[in-house]
């Protein structure tokens, strides 16, 4: 971990110091041998500059002793606690412990290492009881030694910090041993420091939720790092910095957390908050200065951002998907009893929107206060966060990265738009509106209106994505409208409407499926209506007589009552050999009926009556066999409808 003071004196990152494997040549009886150990992934040992998590070095624990892997072997893939096979060229006949000890003198050479199985039983859990034992060690009487009382105070503050971050779910029982003198480690060898500190205190390696922190006077040969820790592990080293920030940060690594970083993305027009994928983006490790998992400082230790807290299962969030429309009140960081963030999945990770006001722990970076946005990625089970600059047009990156009140941001690669509605004057909450980016576009509003008008429902996310995507890609609006009106759903609407109008009921599932399939096969709406009107059910509803049935056709199809002469004409046609189908189609294809149908769609969809020439054209088309779905499609695909809808 890096550290800075309030005077901005930042210690540089560690340049990894590893053993040099050059000394004596192997003895003649040397042979390749495999040693089984336990993997310990060490964070803060190096910076990667990418999005792959904090692991900078892999150590191996064998027989209770810790050993470093050479630079050309590690770090290796795996998680702390996994069994690892280390291939070593060493004299034949040595025990595993002696083989690994020989690697530190050059009498044996590490050829490779590989994690071979799942993590061993007994790895630490997050929520629950933990212990933290601090082992202060020195090797030169002239070295300045931090008072034990001070170390105990920092350890207790670490316990209080993590208890507060977890709502009391994480408890840490702390103990600080007296200073113990060890043999000079000969430089910044953390494996040597670890082994000698445990031996001097007569302790065995910690397991599960036991944590041991080896504290030693500041070593310049360490290259300036403040602390190291194993990820998902139990080991911590602190290089003379008795800061809460350092202790709490390294303990966060033990819990399984990566770093809180920043990310800068560049597009053709300049900086942007984020690109997906983020190939044109660069990250700054520890760059989220407001966060405990960022750079260390003597300022108050910042609250853990919600993305990392969520990875530990400590907070409440709201997950957002395409098509979501909602207004959400976010509690500030540090709150454990209310919703604290929106989570929006993106390719390769998740976006977290949370609220960090400049109060309490978060006064350390007051200029950044407000609604913040983080990208959280995972690598080998290690969550790592990247603060986004939501004001990328500013002359200086991260002058104030918060998303200002009244500002909106569309999450790249999604249709989700985030808008900050307000932040409370007392910093008790922020109100954020979530809307679908596609729904907010002109095309989206159009598709939304089509679904409302034709289906009587809100557009589903899949439908929105499909149709808006086609329109944006350049598909003619008429082709989209025709596809929607010829869909099974819309034909189902026509079937249901016909049943309701002529039979006074909804169709049974079998009947609905039957008629939709017939329309798929080419049946027109007048043929469908004719089939319903000529059914025995419709005839019975009309009284079961020719006169009653004809009267019902006038009422239901033409919307008026019939004269005695009109009823007599059609009744005689039936008794003279005419069929119900012939009579019904005479009504359904009549100019009187079709003028009413077409004008009704104009009124419903365009909020006006049809013009005479347009009405006459469509009536003739329907009588010539053009499908009603085509007529409706042309209306909703027209410029006039588009202007009204969007």
Domain at 446-645, CATH class: mainly alpha
How do residues 376-423 score in pLDDT, each as one tens digit?
999 777 999 999 999 998 999 999 999 999 888 888 888 888 989 999
**Nearest residue to 404 via CA among 392, 422, 387:** 422
DSSP H helices, 460-563, are 461-472, 477-485, 488-502, 509-520, 525-533, 536-541, 546-553
How do residues 47-95 score in pLDDT, each as one tens digit?
443 444 445 789 999 988 999 988 888 788 888 988 999 999 988 888 8
Q: Buried b / exposed e across 93-132, counting CB within 10 Å, b at 16+?
A: ebebeebbbbbbeebbbbbbbbbeeebeeebbebeeebbb
Long-range contacts of 177-183 (CB under 8 A, 24+ apart): 177/133, 177/134, 177/135, 177/136, 177/201, 178/136, 178/148, 179/136, 179/137, 179/138, 179/145, 179/148, 180/135, 180/136, 180/137, 180/138, 181/137, 181/138, 181/139, 182/137, 182/138, 182/139, 183/139
Q: Angle of helix 525-533 relative to helix 580-588, nearest 10 degrees?
A: 130
Cis amide leading into 75 (omega within 30): yes
pLDDT given at position 1: 66
Q: Buried b / exposed e across 423-461, counting CB within 10 Å, b at 16+?
A: beeebebbbbebbbbbbbbebbbbbbbbbebbbeeebee
Contact 260, 294 (CB under 8 A): yes
Section 171-176 average pLDDT? 98
Residue 409 three-state SS = strand
- Report the C-alpha gap between 76 and 112 in whole angstroms: 9
- Report the C-alpha gap between 373 and 389 in whole angstroms: 8
- Report the C-alpha gap between 524 and 73 in whole angstroms: 73
Cis amide leading into 254 (omega within 30): no
The architecture (CATH level 2) of 128-255 comes to 3-Layer(aba) Sandwich (3.40)
Name the residue ranges covered by the structural domains of the chain: 30-115, 128-255, 262-286+303-437, 446-645
How do residues 597-645 score in pLDDT, each as one tens digit?
999 999 999 999 999 999 999 999 999 999 999 999 999 999 999 999 8
Enter the pTM of the model: 0.67
What confidence tier does 24 reach under pLDDT thresholds 50, 70, 90?
very low
How do residues 305-361 score in pLDDT, each as one tens digit?
999 999 999 999 999 876 777 899 999 998 988 999 999 999 899 999 999 999 999
How do residues 112-148 score in pLDDT, each as one tens digit?
899 887 654 444 579 999 999 999 999 999 999 999 9
**Measured between alpha carbons, how far apart are the two ends of the chain, in Å?**
53
pLDDT given at position 615: 95
């Amino acid at each position: 971990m890096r550290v800075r003071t309030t005077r901005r004196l930042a210690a540089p990152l560690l340049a990894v110091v590893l053993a040099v494997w050059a000394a004596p040549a192997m003895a003649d009886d040397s042979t390749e041998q495999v040693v089984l150990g336990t993997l310990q992934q060490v964070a803060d040992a190096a910076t990667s500059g990418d999005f792959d998590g904090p692991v900078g070095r892999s150590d191996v624990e064998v027989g209770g002793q810790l050993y470093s892997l050479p630079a050309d072997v590690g770090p290796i893939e795996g998680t702390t606690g996994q069994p690892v096979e280390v291939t070593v060229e060493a004299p034949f006949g040595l025990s595993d412990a002696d083989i690994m000890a020989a690697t530190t003198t050059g009498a044996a050479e590490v050829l490779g290492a590989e994690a071979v199985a799942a993590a061993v039983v007994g790895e630490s859990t997050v929520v629950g009881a933990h212990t933290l034992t601090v082992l202060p060690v020195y090797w030169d009487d002239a070295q300045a030694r931090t008072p034990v009382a001070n170390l105990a105070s920092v350890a207790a503050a670490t316990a209080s910090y993590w208890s507060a971050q977890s709502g009391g779910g994480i408890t840490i029982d702390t103990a600080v041993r007296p200073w113990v003198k060890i043999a000079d480690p000969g430089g910044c060898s953390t494996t040597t420091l670890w082994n000698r500190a445990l031996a001097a205190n007569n302790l065995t390696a910690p397991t599960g939720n036991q944590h041991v922190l080896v504290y030693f006077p500041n070593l310049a040969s360490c290259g300036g790092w403040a602390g190291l820790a194993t990820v998902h592990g139990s080991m911590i080293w602190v290089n003379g910095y008795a800061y809460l920030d350092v202790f709490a940060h390294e303990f966060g690594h033990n819990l399984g957390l990566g770093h809180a970083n920043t990310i800068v993305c560049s597009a053709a027009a300049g900086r942007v908050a984020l690109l997906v994928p983020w190939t044109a983006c660069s990250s700054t490790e520890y760059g989220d200065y407001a966060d405990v998992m960022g750079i260390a400082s003597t300022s108050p230790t910042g609250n853990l951002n919600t993305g990392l807290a969520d990875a530990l299962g400590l907070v409440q969030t709201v997950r957002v998907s395409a098509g979501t429309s909602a207004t959400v009140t976010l509690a500030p960081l540090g709150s454990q009893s209310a919703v604290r963030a929106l989570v929006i999945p993106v390719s390769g990770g998740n976006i977290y929107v949370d609220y960090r006001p400049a109060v309490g722990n978060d006064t350390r970076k007051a200029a950044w206060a407000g609604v913040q946005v983080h990208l959280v990625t995972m690598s080998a089970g290690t969550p790592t966060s990247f603060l986004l600059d939501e004001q990328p047009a500013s002359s200086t990156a991260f002058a104030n990265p918060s998303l200002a009140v009244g500002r909106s941001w569309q999450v790249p690669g999604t249709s989700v738009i985030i808008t900050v509605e307000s932040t409370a004057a007392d910093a008790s909450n922020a109100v954020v509106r979530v809307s679908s980016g596609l729904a907010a576009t002109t095309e989206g509003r159009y598709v939304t209106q089509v679904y409302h008008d034709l289906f009587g429902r809100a557009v589903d996310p899949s439908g929105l994505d499909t149709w808006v995507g086609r329109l944006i890609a350049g598909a003619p609006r008429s082709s989209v409208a025709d596809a929607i009106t010829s869909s099974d759903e819309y034909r189902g609407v026509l079937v249901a409407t016909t049943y309701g109008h002529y039979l006074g009921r909804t169709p049974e599932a079998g009947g609905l499926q039957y008629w939709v399939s017939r329309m798929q096969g080419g049946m027109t709406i007048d043929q469908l209506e004719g089939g319903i009107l000529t059914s025995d059910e419709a005839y019975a509803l009309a009284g079961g007589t020719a006169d009653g049935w004809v009267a019902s056709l006038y009422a239901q199809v033409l919307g008026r009552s019939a004269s005695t002469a009109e009823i007599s004409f059609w009744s005689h046609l039936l008794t003279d050999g005419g069929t119900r189908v012939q009579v019904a189609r005479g009504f359904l294809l009549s100019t009187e009926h079709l003028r009413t149908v077409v004008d009704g769609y104009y009124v419903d969809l365009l909020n006006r009556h049809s013009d005479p020439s347009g009405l006459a054209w469509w009536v003739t088309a329907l009588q010539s066999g053009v499908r009603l779905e085509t007529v409706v499609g042309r209306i909703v695909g027209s410029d006039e409808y588009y202007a009204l809808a969007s």
